[in-house]
Amino acid sequence: MLSRLRFWRERDWTPITAADYAEAWARFGGSVATHPEVLARLADLAGIPVRYLGWQVGGELQAAIATWGRYLALSKDVLKQQGKRGLFDLGNAEIILPLAPQAQVSLRHRARYLSELNATGLIGVGEQPEGLALAREPEQYSKKFRYNQRREQRLLEEAGGVIRPMLELAPEEQARIYADLFLRRWGFEATGKEHLAEVFSLLRDFMTGSLIYLNDEPVAIQVLYRVEAPHWVSLEYINGGVDPQQREFSPGSVLSFVNTQSEWEQARALGKPLRYSFGRADREYKDRWCNRVPVYQV
């Protein structure tokens, strides 16, 4: 029965190597959660082998996927089934599969948050009820909104606030600060707290953004991962933490402004659009920063 189900699921797909998958990603693009190195490093941490599949037409690779059984690789469901729930946190990441522009492929592996970029090329997907929150371009914010954000940043800096790049800190220090500020902000432990330093070390090549100190103490942090695809930049805002006692200076809002502005500037310098995802469009504050876009599921 198991082999028959796999045969149905993988019909018209053929096994390929990790190198083949990486080549497809480099040609067609993808997102943080489908990047070859992100996949390989986190799958290795989980100890769950990845099965790579390709869709070929006339001997040419048109699409590629990385799988864990009947799910796409890095699935939270598989981690839960294997007793490894919360081993790492990618939030509700946008899934952009390496897919040729005119490809038409059947996807039968379980997946959620499939990007609108793939929607017309994937057969068997349906729009899911909740959408994704993608950061607006800087010009889409009102003049008043931008003025207020710059004012908050100035007041914070005048009070002794300092903005530092995340990569100035070692993974162990990033993990300690994030776990502390996350707990203060939300009142419960960050996902995968015990493995944060290891995950931050594994994904250091993709980490970006800044954090904020006030009077030499960290007061706001965001975990951001970024990859550059051929025709766009994919960035995932996984989660963050802030010291609620410093609410008068709005350090969380200031950090969102600093990080989004900086990433748009970098993407535009590359001449590429930025897909800066805040994850599921499920909180009011995300509407201040983002546009809601549809996503799809199998």
Q: Which amino acid is at 214?
A: L
Domain that holds residue 48: 2-131
Residues 165, 280, single domain; the answer is yes
Residues 229, 179, single domain; the answer is yes
What average pLDDT does the segment 20-32 reach?
A: 98
Q: Which amino acid is at 248?
A: E
Contact 248, 288 (CB under 8 A): no
- SS3 for 208-248, per residue? ECEEEEECCEEEEEEEEEEEECCCCEEEEEEEEEECHHHHH
Element (H, E) at 287: helix 284-289
When divided into structural domains, the chain yields a total of 2
Can you give the pTM of this predicted structure?
Answer: 0.95
- The tokens describing 180, both together, are 């502390």
Residues 87, 102, single domain; the answer is yes
DSSP for 68-133, please give it. Answer: ETTEETT-HHHHHHTT-TTSS---S--B---B-TT--EE--SB-SSB-TTTGGGEET-EE-SS-EE
Enter the DSSP assignment of 137.
Answer: P
The pLDDT score that the predictor gives to residue 253 is 95
Contact 58, 68 (CB under 8 A): no
Residues 256, 113, single domain; the answer is no
Residues 28, 74, single domain; the answer is yes
For 112-147, write each residue's pLDDT tens digit.
999 999 999 999 999 999 999 999 999 999 999 999
Residues 124, 167, single domain; the answer is no
pLDDT over 90 at 211, yes or no? yes
Domain-terminating residue out of 111, 131, 151:
131
Residues 105, 155, single domain; the answer is no
Residues 127, 184, single domain; the answer is no
Integer Cα distance of 246 and 250 in angstroms: 7
Q: pLDDT band for 285, please (50, 70, 90 cuts).
A: confident
Residues 268, 139, single domain; the answer is yes
Domain-terminating residue out of 131, 151, 179:
131
Element (H, E) at 190: none
Domain-terminating residue out of 112, 131, 150:
131
For 178-207, write each residue's pLDDT tens digit.
999 999 999 999 999 999 999 999 999 999
Beta partners for residue 163, in sequence order: 212
The pLDDT score that the predictor gives to residue 284 is 86
Residues 111, 163, single domain; the answer is no
What CATH number does residue 266 fall under?
3.40.630.30
Residues 115, 199, single domain; the answer is no
Integer Cα distance of 265 and 208 in angstroms: 13
Other beta carbons within 10 angstroms of residue 129's beta carbon come to 6
Residues 64, 210, single domain; the answer is no
